[in-house]
Amino acid sequence: MSDVSEQLQQQVHAAYDNATPLCIQGGNSKAFYGRACTAETLSVREHSGIVNYAPTELVITARSGTRLSDIETALAEQNQMLAFEPPHYGEHASIGGTVACNFSGPRRAYAGAARDFVLGCKIINGKGELLAFGGEVMKNVAGYDVSRLMAGAMGTLGVITEVSLKVLPKPESEITLALESNASQALQYMHQWSRTPMPVSATCFDGDRLFVRLGSSEDGVHAAHARIGGEIIAEQVGFWKKLREQKHAFFISTKSLWRLSVESNAEPLKLDARCLYEWGGALRWYLTDAATSNVRALAASTGGHATLFRGTGDDRFHPLDAGVIRMHQKLKAAFDPKGILNPGRMYAEVN
């Protein structure tokens, strides 16, 4: 155990004894996400460094404060990558915060979410106990996979101190195509491609054009291009990076940004808003001043849910029914009995 890890454990233990709430902070690049957390800061930024990287085993283990950019640089040297293509939202973005938010980028619908690549983790629970779950291989879990439970829990169940992730090789060849399309046509194309073995690794419809990224062997990419058609864009790396980091022109707005998860083939929603589709149509971004209740009702009508990603308001996440809230409360009580870790960061009912 590192000295910083011991200090973190001692700080959490003292907070437990005194029932002092803690706000976990790494690179602080994701402070905008979720409900506000006002409490004493527990900084994990200095708890950094790659603990183990085995390129032949496709596994990397790093401390939670390790910068995402440092991990990606180490992987790139071996022609490997984090397949879920996580957004950074800032130069100090850390791997701990990425996993805690379960953030994934353009490749998510075709490779899997951050949660799917978590092999194991170490956490400090709300009583100051250091716990380890999972390991560094895919089949190392008996019973409930607690390590993946931490992905998306936003630090409300424990302070992630270390995480092991599966990595993948980069594709041999990659191109991005642009096609003229309207919203309905774009959804039809994306849904159609998802039912074929074509090497699609990302899609985006920005309101004017449909973009599709292909990644595979050179022959595979060439064959898919011939089937899809479209124009190859020159700055494909920059395009997907801008999209991932929300620096695409679409996101430059003062309106509230909503993130809707819906069925990929759901018809365009009747909402007075600018929209951008990703993940084969399953992820839809909306810029609108529409009332929260209207946005969530439309998402629910498709069997989906809506998150206020950026904007004003406390209720950021789609409301849960009473039974699911009780499950959250029981999990919180098991891992953090005094409710000191990121209290209320996700739901007001879960402290």
Mean pLDDT of 128-153: 78
pLDDT at residue 173 greater than cutoff 70 = yes
3-state secondary structure (DSSP) of residue 105: coil
For residue 309, give the DSSP letter: E
Give 213-260 pLDDT, tens digit per residue.
999 999 999 999 999 999 999 999 999 999 999 999 999 999 999 999
CA 336 from chain center: how many Å? 23
| Distances 71 to 49, 122, 206, 239, 272 between C-alpha atoms, Å | 9, 18, 30, 21, 40
Q: 44 near 8, Cβ under 8 Å?
A: yes
Tens of pLDDT, residue by residue over 68-117, are: 999 999 999 999 999 999 999 999 999 999 999 999 999 999 999 999 99
| Residues making up the chain, counted from first to last | 351
pTM above 0.85, yes or no: yes
Q: Cβ(76)–Cβ(54) under 8 Å? A: no
What is the tens place of the pLDDT at every residue in 280-304? 999 999 999 999 999 999 999 989 9
7/63 Cα distance (integer angstroms): 14
* CATH T-level assignment (fold) for domain 3-169+327-335: 3.30.465
How, if at all, do strands 200-205 and 256-261 pair?
A: unpaired
> Is residue 314 classed exposed, middle or buried when 0-12, 13-18 and 19+ CB atoms within 10 A define those classes?
exposed
Q: In the chain, which ranges are continuous DSSP H helix?
A: 3-18, 68-76, 95-101, 108-111, 146-149, 183-194, 218-228, 236-244, 292-301, 322-335
Q: Which of 60, 50, 67, 66 is nearest to 83 (CA)?
A: 60
**Please, which residues bridge with residue 23 across strands?**
41
Helix (H, G, I), strand (E, B) or coil at 280: helix
Strand partners for 61: 52, 164
Alpha-carbon span 351 to 348, nearest angstrom = 7
Domain ranges within the chain, ordered by starting residue: 3-169+327-335, 173-310
pLDDT of residue 226: 95
Distance CA 321, CA 291 (A): 21
Distance between CA atoms of residues 299 and 37, nearest Å: 27
| pLDDT tens-place string over residues 19-61 | 999 999 999 999 999 998 889 999 999 999 999 999 999 999 9
Question: In this predicted structure, what is the pLDDT of residue 307?
Answer: 97
DSSP string, 210-248: EEEEEEE-HHHHHHHHHHH--EEPS-HHHHHHHHHTT-S
Q: What gap in Å lies between CA 29 and CA 43, rounded to an integer?
A: 13
Confidence of residue 137 (pLDDT cuts 50, 70, 90): low
Q: Which of 66, 27, 72 lies closest to 50, judged by CA? A: 66
CB 316 within 8 A of CB 308: yes
Cβ atoms of 99 and 68 closer than 8 Å: no
